Amino acid sequence: MTREELSQALGQIDTMYIEEVLHTRKKRPRWPFLAAACLVLVCLGTALVRAEPRDLPAEETLPMLSAQLLQEGMGFEGVMVYDVAELSQSNPWTPETQLETLPVYRNLAYTDGAGAPAWLSDREMLALAKETARKMNATITAKTWEPAQEGDRSYSLTAQTDRGTIRVSGNGWITAEFTAPWTLEAAQALAGCRVDASWTDYSFAGEPFPHREAWKGGEAQTEAILRYNFARATFAQDEAGKVWMMGWGDLLGSAEKLGDYGILSLEEARDLLLAGDCLTSVPEEYGGVTREAIGKEELVYVTGNANEVFQPYYKFWVELTDPPGEMAEGLKTYGAYYVPAVSPIYLTDFPSETTSVFQ
Amino acid sequence: MEDSKIIDLFFRRSREAIPALAEKYGPLCHSLANGILSDRRDAEECVSDAYLGVWNTVPPKRPDPLRAYLCKIVRNLSITRYRANRAAKRDSRYALALEELGDCVSGGTDPAEEWEARELAELLNDFLGRLPPKDRVLFLGRYWFADSVREAGARVGISEKNASVRLTRLRKALRSYLEERGVRV
- pLDDT on residue A118: 84
Which chain B residues are within 8 Å of A14, Cβ to Cβ? 125, 128
Percent of chain B with pLDDT over 90: 14
User: Are residues B66 and B7 in contact, defined by beta-carbon separation less than 8 angstroms?
Assistant: yes
For the segment B4-15, the average pLDDT, to the nearest whole number, is: 88
Alpha helix locations (H) across A87-171? 122-135
B57: nearest CB among A73, A155, A324: A73
- The pLDDT of B48-70, averaged and rounded, is 88
Q: Which residues pair with A156 in a beta bridge?
A: A146, A169
The residue among A18, A21, A39, A72 with the most chain B CBs within 10 A of its CB, best to mutate, is A21
CA distances to A180, A303, B36 from B80, rounded to whole Å, are 34, 21, 10
**Residue B137 and residue A21: Cβ atoms within 8 Å?**
yes
Report pLDDT for A37: 28
Give the chain B residue whose CA is nearest to the CA of A10: B121
Question: Angle, to 10 degrees, between the axis of helix A15-24 and the axis of helix A31-39?
Answer: 150
Residue of B10, B11, B96 to mutate, interface with A, max A Cβ within 10 Å: B11
Is B15 close to A72, i.e. CB distance below 8 A? no
Q: What angle do CA A310, A154, A144 make, to 5 degrees?
A: 130
**What is the pairing mode between strands A312-319 and A208-215?**
unpaired
Specify the pLDDT at position B87. Answer: 53
Residue of A36, A44, A203 lying closest to B11 (CB–CB)? A203
Residue-level length of chain B: 185
pLDDT at B128 over 90: yes
pLDDT digits (tens, 9 = 90+) for B101-124: 777 776 555 544 445 677 888 899
* Greater model confidence, B171 or A152: B171
Specify whether the backbone of A218 is left (phi greater than 0), alpha (psi in -120 to 50) or beta: beta
Q: Which residues of A touch B62 (CB under 8 A)?
A: 75-78
Residues 123-182 of A with CB under 8 A from B: 146-147, 149, 152, 155
Q: Which CATH number fits domain B3-85: 1.10.3720.10, 3.40.50.10540, 1.10.1740.10, 3.30.2130.10?
A: 1.10.1740.10
CA-to-CA dists, residue A348 to A56, A94, B76, angstroms: 11, 28, 27
For chain A, the residue count is: 359
Better-scored residue on pLDDT, B145 or A35: B145
Handedness of CA B59, B61, B62, B67 (dihedral sign): negative
- What pLDDT was estimated at residue A172? 93
Chain B residue numbers with beta carbons less than 8 Å from the beta carbon of A155 are 80
Checking if the pLDDT of B175 tops 50, the result is: yes
**Secondary structure of chain B in the HEC alphabet?**
CCHHHHHHHHHCCCCCHHHHHHHHHHHHHHHHHHHHHCCHHHHHHHHHHHHHHHHHHCCCEECCCHHHHHHHHHHHHHHHHHHHHCCCCCCCHHHHHHHHHHHHCCCCCCHHHCCCHHHHHHHHHHHHHHCCHHHHHHHHHHHCCCCCHHHHHHHCCCCHHHHHHHHHHHHHHHHHHHHHCCCCC
Amino acid at A200: T
Q: DSSP labels for A196-227? A: E--EEEE-TT--EEEEEEEE---SSHHHHHHH
User: Which residues lie below 8 Å from residue A50, measured CB to CB, with a gap of 6+?
Assistant: A276, A277, A351, A353
CA distance B20 to chain A (A): 17
B 75-134 residues with CB < 8 A to A: 75-77, 79-81, 83-85, 87, 98-99, 101-102, 104-109, 113, 115, 117-118, 120-125, 128, 133-134
From first to last of its 359 residues, chain A has per-residue pLDDT tens of: 777 778 878 888 888 888 888 876 533 333 233 333 222 222 222 222 323 333 334 444 688 898 877 765 446 888 999 999 888 888 999 999 989 999 999 999 887 766 678 889 888 999 999 999 999 999 999 998 887 555 567 888 999 999 999 999 999 999 999 999 999 999 999 999 989 999 988 888 888 888 899 999 988 899 999 999 999 999 998 888 899 999 999 999 999 999 999 999 999 999 999 988 899 888 888 888 999 999 999 999 999 888 889 999 999 999 999 888 888 899 999 999 999 999 888 888 887 643 333 32
Bridge partner list, A279: A338
Q: What average pLDDT does this structure show over B69-90?
A: 79
Q: Which CATH architecture has domain B93-180?
A: Orthogonal Bundle (1.10)
Tell me how far apart the alpha carbons of residues A92 and A229 are, in angstroms, rounded to a whole number: 10
Domain regions of chain B by residue span: 3-85, 93-180
Burial of A60 (0-12, 13-18, 19+ CB in 10 A): exposed
Would you state the pLDDT for residue A25? 55
Q: Is A48 on the interface with B (CB under 8 A)?
A: no
Chain B (22-61) residues lying within 8 Å, Cβ to Cβ, of chain A:
28, 45, 49, 53-54, 56-61
Closest Cα of chain B to A177: distance in Å? 12
How many beta-carbon pairs below 8 A join chains A and B?
Answer: 214
CB contact under 8 A, B65 and A204: no
The CA distance from B166 to the nearest CA of chain A, in Å, is 16
Partner residue opposite B63 with nearest CB, options A24, A74, A325: A74
Mean pLDDT over residues B65-70, rounded?
89
pLDDT given at position A149: 55
How many angstroms separate the Cα of B110 from the Cα of each of A111, B114, B122, B127?
20, 6, 20, 23
Give the per-residue pLDDT at A150: 55
Q: Say how far apart CA A37 and CA B42 lie, in whole Å.
A: 37
Cα distance between residue A163 and residue A176, in whole Å: 10
